[in-house]
């Protein structure tokens, strides 16, 4: 028993290490590849932090494996104005001396690579397993709802709404909301018998995924929860992966907005401990679950880095955009002050997230 538990802990620990390390590494790979594309000098490309374990030199770059396996870093030649150029590099390799648009692309490549990674993961998962969709099958019918009055029953399979064929539950929900209260002819299949029922949607309140109340047209039915897998080929999996990535980007963006609007409570903000727990939980479910979670964390990491906060890539992007518009670098004093504010904000966010994680574990 104890050995099995230790083995499970070890595999959870490795999953966490691989997921977080892999995400940060992929982010840095983005910076690295675009810098190399523009011929900007890269002094070091390290997998991991801290003391160098081993590596090799390729051209002028030291590719190394370092002791602390969480992520990695890229050190570019001439990252700051007053940095001395290392041996073997000259001014044409310097990052600071490049036009603003090149520096902007090098910086934006990190977060963009995180979003691309999510897309690749979803693409692979959909290609391997197909896409799961909720079947248009009624589960629960709320008493005295428009559906109950019209005679809709649990187990009914919805075939079409208002003459439009229905393939998945999303089509059902979409057609009802789009009705804006017009009576709908709903064709159903009940144990092999075809029936058409007329249902009058009404405005009702439902909870959104963020727990807010939303008023919309509903008829009072829930999906049975039965899913069907649609097999996808490489091209359709690629498109489905892109759609899924975009959907997750929108939801992640909305949740950040909802935190600032105080709709989503601050204690729901999680940090590294929560991520580690989620990864280790999913590692028990198998590789697919870990990959799906990795894609989601990658999107979060990419979007977090794009926030317009000095210190983060997003802050640098704002400064570089201003530099391109004004044709001169942003005042150094202003950059210094805003960077300090940005750093304080990020530290506060990290402390809040870690505090929440600890409180959550003590409950």
Catalytic residues: 28
**Cα–Cα dist 229/222, whole Å:** 20
**Cα–Cα dist 187/198, whole Å:** 9
**Cβ atoms of residues 305 and 349 within 8 Å:** no
**Cβ atoms of residues 318 and 108 within 8 Å:** no
Count CB-CB contacts under 10 A for residue 168: 18
First to last CA, the chain: 27
**Cβ atoms of residues 313 and 306 within 8 Å:** yes
Residues 6+ apart with CB under 8 A from 286: none
Q: Quick one: which of 115, 105, 111 has its CA closest to 246?
A: 115
């Amino acid at each position: 028993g104890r050995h099995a538990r230790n083995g499970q802990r070890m595999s959870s620990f490795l999953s966490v290490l691989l997921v977080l390390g892999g995400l940060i590494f992929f982010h840095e790979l983005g910076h690295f590849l675009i810098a190399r594309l523009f011929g900007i000098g890269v002094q070091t490309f390290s997998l991991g932090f801290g003391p160098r374990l081993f590596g090799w030199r390729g051209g002028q770059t030291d590719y190394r494996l370092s002791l602390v396996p969480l992520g990695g870093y890229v050190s570019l030649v001439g990252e700051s104005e007053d940095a001395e150029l290392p041996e073997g590099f000259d001014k044409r390799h310097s990052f600071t001396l490049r036009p603003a648009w090149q520096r902007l692309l090098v910086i934006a490549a990190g977060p963009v690579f995180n979003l691309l990674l999510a897309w690749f993961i979803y693409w692979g998962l959909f290609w391997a397993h197909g896409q799961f969709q909720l079947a248009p099958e009624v589960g629960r019918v709320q008493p005295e709802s428009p559906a109950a009055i019209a005679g809709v029953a649990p187990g009914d399979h919805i075939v079409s709404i208002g003459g439009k064929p229905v393939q998945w539950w999303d089509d059902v929900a979409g057609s009802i909301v789009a009705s804006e209260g017009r009576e709908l002819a709903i064709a159903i299949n009940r144990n092999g018998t075809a029936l058409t029922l007329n249902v009058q949607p009404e405005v009702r309140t439902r909870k959104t995924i963020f727990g807010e109340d939303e008023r919309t047209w509903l008829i009072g039915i829930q999906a049975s929860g039965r899913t069907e897998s649609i097999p996808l080929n490489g091209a359709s999996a690629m498109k489905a992966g892109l759609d899924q990535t975009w959907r997750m980007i929108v939801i992640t963006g909305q949740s950040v907005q909802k935190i600032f609007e105080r709709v989503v409570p601050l204690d729901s903000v999680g940090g590294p401990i929560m991520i580690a727990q989620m990864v280790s939980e999913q590692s028990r479910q198998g590789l697919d679950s870990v990959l799906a979670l990795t894609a989601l964390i990658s999107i979060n990491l990419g979007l977090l880095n794009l926030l317009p906060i000095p210190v983060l890539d997003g802050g640098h992007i704002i400064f570089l955009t201003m530099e391109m518009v004004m044709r001169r670098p942003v005042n150094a004093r202003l950059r210094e002050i805003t960077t300090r504010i940005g750093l304080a904000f990020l530290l506060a966010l990290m402390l809040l997230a870690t505090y929440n994680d600890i409180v959550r574990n003590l409950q």
